[in-house]
Chain A
């Protein structure tokens, strides 16, 4: 484990801030950070408290920081003082490294720049420290992608959901519908240059709520499901471009989490709201048929493996073991 901190220090040492602002990959890294952070919070928060299911929820800086703090305080169980001290040293090293790296562009009177350095150091430290949390293997490390903004995209960064906070730095002249225009997280980035660059990602919690509103209007029950393509077309009409989110991004980042969190039901004909017992039963029936199909395939694979004497070298009982574990039955 000690090598992790040493390796991280070497990686940070090798970072040289870019002076090329043409490519904005930092946006994607920040979007992945947001997705993974909120996915973790959804899992660890007590269901009865889950504000993340509030359909009116729009991500704000306060909600972001409270959620991040809650995730850190829930997962960070590193008590070893000597390791914590190593992280304090790594933090000091990073501050110095970034100030040196900025050179003539380091302005200690610029609060925006100082806060960019703070956020960059914070995510860098957590991306490494996460590996020491006892539950680190249960989730994807949300700070790894954010730290990639520094180590791979070679820029410092700062973000805000509040347009007024970053208004001096951005030019937001897009023609978007009202449903999505206020659901943005602005990102400021700075490399080895005097100026900054900026971009934005969407508030996925807000966009998921936009999808719920679309379904509520046109697919309020299992009798009128809406196909994925129609949902995507409606989002495109609102101003979400293919460059920003591909069709598979929309499916994986927006629609699937809604399905996984019991917010919407689905059948082979599309998605619909889960408003009534009939809606729930219809979606259940559809998934049950899928499960039976998968189960029959898995069973026939297992029987074939049995015939070919593969079971001593390959475990093809995992589907049975999974069910027993899920139902809490002795294996």
Chain B
């Protein structure tokens, strides 16, 4: 059964990455399609595709299909600049990049700052035990970076929202750690807005 977005339309592939009229982008999307379901005009990207077929290559597909929904292979940290900016960057359960530490946060926010419009926002979704997305880490390390004058952009970090099992994201989406094939349940969500 095809996957529908929040407006009940079938999710779509954007073929002219990064030049479509698409202003949201998800990084490290793995084999999930969160951004296309909930935003839904959203690019899905990841550094690798784990040798899975693209969903458009299958005759039929469903959320259980062994496929990916990526519009492009793109490594958030290491790939070349895209030459454009976005209004929304999405990170679902990031591991290996994010607000894991002082240096990690500097790298993460510096890269996000390059890719975001002023007024654009980063959507962070994950577990409270995941240091790469933990709200308290984001606040602590961002404040330290600003105090040390060690970041080129200014951001504002919202309060976290609890994602319990009744939240639509948890109800209508299965989050997985795709490289190790394990389901994971995000428990928190917040936004980081680029102010300047």
Query: Interface of B with A (CB < 8 Å)?
Result: 47-48, 93, 95-96, 100-104, 106-107, 127, 129-132, 136, 140, 148, 150, 177, 179-182, 184
Contact = CB atoms under 8 A, between A and B. Distances in A.
Interface string A50-63: 01100000001111
A70 B177 contact: yes
Interface in A113-168: 113-119, 121-122
Given A45-B182, A73-B127, A95 B177 contact: no
A240 to B, nearest CB: 26
Given A73-B130, A88-B136, A117-B101, A63 B180 contact: yes
Contact of B106 (A52, A88, A114): A114
B125 to A, nearest CB: 14
B182 A70 contact: yes
Given A62-B95, A108-B150, A73 B179 contact: no
A69 interface: yes
Interface string A9-24: 0000000000000000
B181 A111 contact: no
Q: Which 7 A-B pairs have the closest CB atoms?
A: A114-B103, A118-B101, A65-B95, A65-B96, A115-B103, A66-B177, A76-B129
B74 to A, nearest CB: 14
A109 B148 CA distance: 11
A52 B181 CA distance: 10
Given A63-B179, A70-B177, A70-B184, A111 B95 contact: no
Nearest to B47: A62
A28 B142 CA distance: 34
Nearest to B50: A62
A72 interface: yes
Contact of B95 (A51, A66, A116): A66
A313 interface: no
Interface of A: 41, 45, 49, 51-52, 60-63, 65-70, 72-73, 76, 88, 92, 95, 108-109, 111, 113-119, 121-122
6 contacts: A49-B181, A52-B180, A68-B95, A72-B130, A114-B104, A114-B106
A72 B129 contact: yes
Contact of B100 (A70, A88, A122): A122
Nearest to B148: A108
A220 B182 CA distance: 31
Contacts, number: 81
A111 to B, nearest CB: 6
Nearest to A120: B101
Which residue of B132, B180, B182 has the most chain A CB atoms within 10 A of its CB atom? B180
Contacts of B104: 114-115, 118
Contacts of A109: 150
Contacts of B130: 69, 72-73
A76 B127 CA distance: 11
B101 A121 contact: yes
Given A70-B182, A122-B101, A122-B131, 4 more contacts: A69-B184, A70-B177, A73-B129, A108-B148
B180 A51 contact: yes
Nearest to A68: B95
A61 B104 CA distance: 15
Contact of A62 (B131, B140, B148, B179): B179
A69 B95 contact: yes
A178 B135 CA distance: 43
A95 B104 CA distance: 13
Contacts of B101: 114-115, 117-119, 121-122
Contacts of A116: 103
Which residue of B127, B129, B150 has the most chain A CB atoms within 10 A of its CB atom? B129
A123 to B, nearest CB: 11
A252 B92 CA distance: 38
B102 A88 contact: no
B102 A60 contact: no
A66 B102 contact: no
B95 A114 contact: no
Contact of B102 (A49, A72, A117): A117
Which residue of B48, B101, B132 has the most chain A CB atoms within 10 A of its CB atom? B101
Contact of A113 (B96, B103, B127): B103
A72 B182 CA distance: 13
Contacts of B107: 111, 115
B154 to A, nearest CB: 18
Contact of B140 (A69, A70, A88, A122): A88
A45 B177 CA distance: 12
B176 to A, nearest CB: 9
B106 A111 contact: yes
Contacts of A70: 177, 180, 182, 184
